Amino acid sequence: MRPLVATLVTAALLFLFFVPMLTDLVGRPSLLALACRILIYAMAAASLNFVLGYGGMISFGHAAFFGVGAYTVGILYAHFASGELLFGFIPGSNQMLITLPAAVLVSGVFAAAIGALSLRTGGVQFIMITLAFAQMLFFFFVALKAYGGEDGIIIRRTNELAGLNMRDRVTLYYVILGFAVLFFLGLWRMVNSSFGAVLRGIQQNERRMAALGFAPYRYKLYAFILSGMGAGFAGALMANFLRYASPDMMHWTKSGELMIMVILGGVGSFFGPIFGAAAFMILETFLAGWTEHWQLLLGAVLLVIVLATKGGINGLLARIFRRGA
Amino acid sequence: MILIAEQLLNGLQYGVMLFLLAAGLTLIFGIMGVINLAHGALYMVGAYAGTWVALQTGSFWAGLPAALIAAAVTGFVIETLVIRRLYARDHLDQVLATFALILIFNELITIGFGRQPVFTSLPAAFSGSVELLPGLPYPTYRLLIIATGLAVAGGLYILINRTRIGMLVRAGATNREMVRALGVDIRLLYTIVFGLGALLAGLAGYMAGPISAVQVGMGEQILLATFVVVVVGGVGSIKGAFVAGIALGVADTMLRAFLPGMLRQVMNASEADALGIGIASMGIYFLMALVLLVRPRGLFAAGG
């Protein structure tokens, strides 16, 4: 990591650490909830960016994995509350150290199945087939009456973690921040590993990588599974934060929003999705508070960003710092 | 038997509706290489403009040219201002820009017409029903939609296969670069194709008005199904759009009509309804996944 980036990351971490005090200081505790949502979406967007930016696979169905992760937490909680066994042999749980890995596992399984089939196609067909699978899951959960159907499933209490008081918003924020830091550390290692290098190579020239002896399909599939796991992890945290899981979380417009965050921040850059998630959520929150017709302004802003900029916010920052240096 | 025949006709009507939208979309896809999520917005614009004029003048037929003109003009403006800049971009930018267009158009329509759905009445000459078979009365308006769709399909067939523009369109769908290299004014061709697609979307939107509410978001509901049709039929193929449109329209309608009833025989009514509708909604996506796995480029893909 270059010294400038390292300094900035340290500064950002310090800032994130003091966010609860800052929101108290300005007297707007609702901003803390916004910060939580940004952190969670940043993880989901970064997961999407892993396949989209590094692997060149345009998945239009990543909200499905986000939703599957959320539902895993919800369904485990429902069985914990009722005491019935899931499928007759899996006990429910309200322990975060059990539900989060479970969510990662389940969304990984879904990603493996969807990825294995979808990666046989490419281009526009890949976009559409990932969308198709996400839509199938969406309608499946809408039809799943046993777990709330359209209304989704309510999680009466946030999962427990190491005896912390999770009802306290500040505690919950620090838990989410902690997981986010771990998540991005892991992602950093993955992106800069030899696996990450192969993945970027495939994006640049698949045929050449195949000639070098790397089987593109297998590497792309691994990346897709890891990415689905990441999105599921974010979804599981979101279910804990919102205390419910609903089919809306996997609606195709959510997949679109994740994509917007990635593009807004800068495709294929490590910090891009974080900027993108923050920019999108802040824009949405403030425009919605300002006018009823906020979507018009959001649309206009997005349009200008796509047509007029290259590399999103990350690209913009890189250009500014390069000029300054 | 009567019920099945009726649902088959409903499926056919939905199918030609999908075809009207998919025909334009598949050409825009195939020739310009642009993923246009805003195609549903043109459908909505056509529906609103036509319905508004029809309500003002009290005549269904006065609304028709209004719908077509409004959709075509909107299409022209979108093409000139936004889409034209996207030809050279990757799919990601196209998805995002046209997604932004959806947001913009939905809000513009909301500002202009409000959030309440607008209801229109059927034209007087087509408000009744005819008895197609003994015991099978069928609304004439739906028959009109089917006839219109088939007529458009016929017209497009002649346009694509028998005219000079059609020849360029086919050539463009097969190999864009080669057409450009041969000195064809590709920009004009793009504008014509986009305008034609917009026109058909406007027509579909206006025709759909009287049988389903005209409301904000109506475009997105049908947009995804249209994309499924385009991809299943093969990008750039009008024939594919026609075959896939009819097939998926019928399959979707039949599943929705009969699946809950069949499930009711094995489980209780409310669960059967929820599950039946859920599986029926998944139906077309399932079929698309299946087709893509067997033929990754769709049924009738243009080009090599």
In the numeric block, the tokens 């859920």 are attached to B278
Q: What is the mean pLDDT of chain B?
A: 84
Confidence of residue A325 (pLDDT cuts 50, 70, 90): very low
Confidence of residue A227 (pLDDT cuts 50, 70, 90): very high
Judge whether A73 is closer than 8 Å to chain B, CB to CB. Answer: no
- In angstroms, the CA A192 to CA A212 distance is 20
- In angstroms, the CA A155 to CA A160 distance is 12
With a cut of 70, say whether residue A324 has pLDDT above it.
Answer: no
Q: List the single range of A1-10, A311-320, B110-119, B287-296 with lowest mean pLDDT.
A: A311-320
Check B289 against A260: CB less than 8 A apart.
no
* Chain B residues near any Cβ of chain A (below 8 Å): 29, 35, 82, 85, 91-93, 95-97, 99-104, 106-108, 110-111, 220, 224, 227-228, 231, 235, 270-271, 274-275, 277-279, 281-282, 285-286, 288-289, 292-293, 296-298
Confidence of residue A323 (pLDDT cuts 50, 70, 90): low
Give the per-residue pLDDT at A306.
80
Segments in chain B forming alpha helices (H): 2-27, 39-57, 60-81, 91-113, 140-162, 164-174, 176-181, 186-208, 218-233, 238-264, 269-294
Q: How far is CA A161 from the centre of its chain?
A: 21
What is the average per-residue pLDDT within A194-222?
Answer: 86
Angle of helix B186-208 versus helix B60-81 axis, rounded to 10: 140
With a cut of 60, say whether residue B89 has pLDDT above it.
Answer: yes
| Half-sphere exposure in the Cβ direction for A20 (13 Å, CA) | 12
Q: List the single range of B55-64, B123-132, B154-163 with lowest mean pLDDT.
A: B123-132
Q: What is the mean pLDDT of chain A?
A: 85
Task: For residue B278, give the nearest of A139, A256, A263 by CB distance.
Answer: A139
Contacts of B298 in chain A (CB under 8 A): 125
- In angstroms, the CA A143 to CA B277 distance is 7
**Domains of chain A listed by start with CATH number:** 3-249 (1.10.3470), 260-325 (no CATH)
**What topology is assigned to B2-120+135-294 in CATH?**
ABC transporter involved in vitamin B12 uptake, BtuC (1.10.3470)
B302 close to B237: Cβ distance less than 8 angstroms = yes
Check B104 against A267: CB less than 8 A apart.
no
With a cut of 90, say whether residue A6 has pLDDT above it.
Answer: no
With a cut of 90, say whether residue A105 has pLDDT above it.
Answer: yes
Interface test with B, best of A59, A117, A118, A121 (most B CBs within 10 A): A121
With a cut of 50, say whether residue B26 has pLDDT above it.
Answer: yes
| Cβ atoms within 10 Å, residue B188 | 11
- In angstroms, the CA B220 to CA B241 distance is 18
Which tens digits make up the pLDDT trace of A149-193? Answer: 788 888 877 777 777 777 778 888 888 999 999 999 999 998 888
Q: Which helix (H) or strand (E) holds A38?
A: helix A30-49
- In angstroms, the CA A121 to CA B292 distance is 7
Give the per-residue pLDDT at B303.
52
Confidence of residue B247 (pLDDT cuts 50, 70, 90): very high
Size of interface A-B (CB pairs under 8 A): 128
Give the per-residue pLDDT at A267.
81
Which tens digits make up the pLDDT trace of B147-192? Answer: 999 999 899 888 888 888 888 888 877 777 788 888 888 788 888 8
The percent of residues in chain B predicted with pLDDT above 70, rounded, is: 99
Higher pLDDT, B222 or A92: B222
- The phi and psi torsions of A291 (rounded to 5 degrees) equal -145, 150
Confidence of residue B304 (pLDDT cuts 50, 70, 90): very low
Give the per-residue pLDDT at A18.
78
Judge whether A122 is closer than 8 Å to chain B, CB to CB. Answer: yes
| Half-sphere exposure in the Cβ direction for B198 (13 Å, CA) | 24
With a cut of 70, say whether residue A273 has pLDDT above it.
Answer: yes
Residue B130 DSSP class = E
Contacts of A306 in chain B (CB under 8 A): 93, 96-97, 100
> Do you know the residue count of chain A?
325
With a cut of 70, say whether residue A211 has pLDDT above it.
Answer: yes
Single-letter residue type at A178: G
Task: For residue A124, give the nearest of B35, B228, B270 by CB distance.
Answer: B35
Which tens digits make up the pLDDT trace of B195-241? Answer: 989 999 999 989 888 888 788 878 887 888 898 898 888 888 888 89
Give the per-residue pLDDT at A179.
92
Interface test with A, best of B29, B93, B103, B263 (most A CBs within 10 A): B103
Judge whether A142 is closer than 8 Å to chain B, CB to CB. Answer: yes
Give the per-residue pLDDT at A253.
83
Give the per-residue pLDDT at A1.
59
Judge whether A132 is closer than 8 Å to chain B, CB to CB. Answer: yes
Check B102 against A296: CB less than 8 A apart.
no
What is the average per-residue pLDDT within A213-236?
Answer: 91
With a cut of 80, say whether residue B120 has pLDDT above it.
Answer: no
Pairing of strands B136-139, B129-133: antiparallel
The minimum CA-CA distance between A15 and chain B, rounded to whole Å, is 31
Helix, strand or coil, per DSSP, at residue A162: coil
In the numeric block, the tokens 């994740």 are attached to A258
B241 close to B302: Cβ distance less than 8 angstroms = no
Task: For residue A293, give the nearest of B100, B111, B277 by CB distance.
Answer: B111
